[in-house]
Amino acid sequence: MLKARGLILLGIALTVATIIASEKRYSGYKVYTVKKARNDTEYKALLELQKNFKKVDFWSDPSKRRPTDIMVSPEDLTKTEQFLSSHGLEYSVAINDVQRVVEKENVRSTRQSGMNWRDYQRLRTIHDWLDSLAAFNPQVAQTGSIGRSTEGRNLKMIKLSKNPEKKNPVIYIDGGIHAREWISPAVTTYIIGKLMSLSPQDADLLENVDWHIVPVLNPDGYEYTFNEDRLWRKSRSLHNGPNCPGVDLNRNFDFHWGEAGTNDDPCRNTYPGPYPFSEPEANSTASYLFNNRNKIRAYLTFHSYSQLWLTPYGYTEDLPSDYEELESLGLRAARALQEVYGTEYEVGAPSHILYSNSGSSRDYAKGVPGIKYSYTIELRDQGDFGFLLPPQQILSTCEETWEGVKVIARQVARERPSGPTFSDIYNSIVDRDPDDRTKVDVAGIRLR
């Protein structure tokens, strides 16, 4: 018996040792915050750095509007600092040793104590929790899948509806499209938990709105961040072989695909894929949004970091025709969020307040199925920890974000259409004459 127990313990030890040995380490890596480019010369220098220093990981893209965060390996520290100084780019050290921050975070994230918002949760814990909610609350909750990932994992969804016969408007939420953004699935699951245990004053949120939520849209990448590389961003597809796997799912949607804010190098984090919808995760999401366009009134996709409430569009500086409504609602949501802990969010289109990007789920949701309120929410923080937000900030981030989401939900409920929706009109035109798609504004808003 003792011998058998010893062999079991030895096996566990070897397994742990194997995981540790295979896991990418970030000892000596630093994160620099480069002040925002003051002119075109400095901006072009940042673009040059991004293009030529392939081992420098841009946590945020070069911008004239905001600081740029970059993670630099020990062997590249000297030449990166020399480059920044020689081009007059001011910088400071945000994280002195990335590995130390990772280890502090992982001490808590490896504990499996059931679903909670004190720790970051593994995929299995999240999926099992969703199934248990549906099992114990079948009158409200149903689980299903919108598709499967490259590696065959379910893109698990939970639907919450208290009055399905009312045909309420739907809010569609997803999280975890970028694997390393752990706070995103934490927030999406918290929203589910709040909806399942609403206080009397918030009962209207489930009475008048239905919720379709995919907490982890990139399950392959998410699991990879726990087992192999904490700072992995992309999917885990193998279009270009094992040396440069993965695609940026938020550049893979077939709406102005491959334009601004992408990189054709498969090894880069913003690689949009070999073609639009090459990734099943993006394709399944788009199909669901399009097939349910008559029901979905708001699309919220949660990311980190920067504390931004982003509207369409990212691919162009042109704004949708109803931008004032989008901005106004976003500002109200941001104010409600700020009232909780004083956390400030900026509201606007990424091409105006951040940087340009194309092929995103947010732009697709607005531009193709015509979902009115389409937002990307970039959660905490503003660069002190970046993607490595400490577990101590999970609950407070969730609590304040929930207040912003409630503002969106109540607006959607107030606007519940009594007559034909835009999508109804759009579909009747397309069904009658497919060529008449040209008569519809690219924003999915108005007929020309």
**pLDDT confidence bin for 286, thresholds 50/70/90:** very high
Q: What is the pLDDT of residue 417?
A: 65
**In the predicted model, what is the mean pLDDT of residues 34-57?**
94
pLDDT at 283 over 90: yes
Nearest C-alpha neighbor of 372 from the set 312, 297, 288: 297
CA angle 124, 125, 131 (to 5 degrees): 85
C-alpha torsion sign, points 156, 161, 166, 169: negative
**In the predicted model, what is the mean pLDDT of residues 373-384?**
97
CATH number of the domain at 340, please.
Answer: 3.40.630.10
Find the range with the poorest average confidence among 3-17, 91-105, 282-296, 413-427.
3-17
Catalytic residue (one of 228, 378, 403, 415): 378
Residue 102 lies in a domain: no
- Domain boundary pick from 46, 65, 96: 96
Q: Residue type for 97, please? A: D
Gyration radius from the chain CA atoms: 22
Helix (H, G, I), strand (E, B) or coil at 244: coil
What is the per-residue pLDDT across 173-203, written as a single tens digit (0 to 9) for each? 999 999 999 999 999 999 999 999 988 889 9
- More confident: 221 or 107: 221
- Are the C-beta atoms of 225 and 184 separated by less than 8 Å? no
For tokens 């480069």, name the residue.
Answer: 34
Among left, alpha and beta (phi > 0; psi -120 to 50; other), residue 261 is: left
Give the E-state strand segments of 104-200 in sequence order.
Answer: 141-148, 154-160, 170-175
**What is the percent of the chain where pLDDT is above 90?**
80
CATH number of the domain at 43, please.
Answer: 3.30.70.340
pLDDT at 21 over 50: no
Q: What is the largest CA-CA distance in the chain?
A: 79
Q: What is the pLDDT of residue 439?
A: 30
Structural domain of residue 332, as residue ranges?
117-416
**In the predicted model, what is the mean pLDDT of residues 321-341?**
98
Asked if 84 and 139 sit in the same domain, the reply is no
Q: What is the pLDDT of residue 23?
A: 86
What is the per-residue pLDDT across 292-305, written as a single tens digit (0 to 9) for each? 999 999 999 999 99
Asked if 92 and 182 sit in the same domain, the reply is no
Asked if 69 and 38 sit in the same domain, the reply is yes
* Domains identified in the chain, total number: 2
**In the predicted model, what is the mean pLDDT of residues 274-294?**
98
Residue 281 lies in a domain: yes
Residue 383 lies in a domain: yes
Residue 447 lies in a domain: no
Asked if 209 and 329 sit in the same domain, the reply is yes
Residue 19 lies in a domain: no
Asked if 197 and 67 sit in the same domain, the reply is no
Catalytic (active site) residue 378:
yes
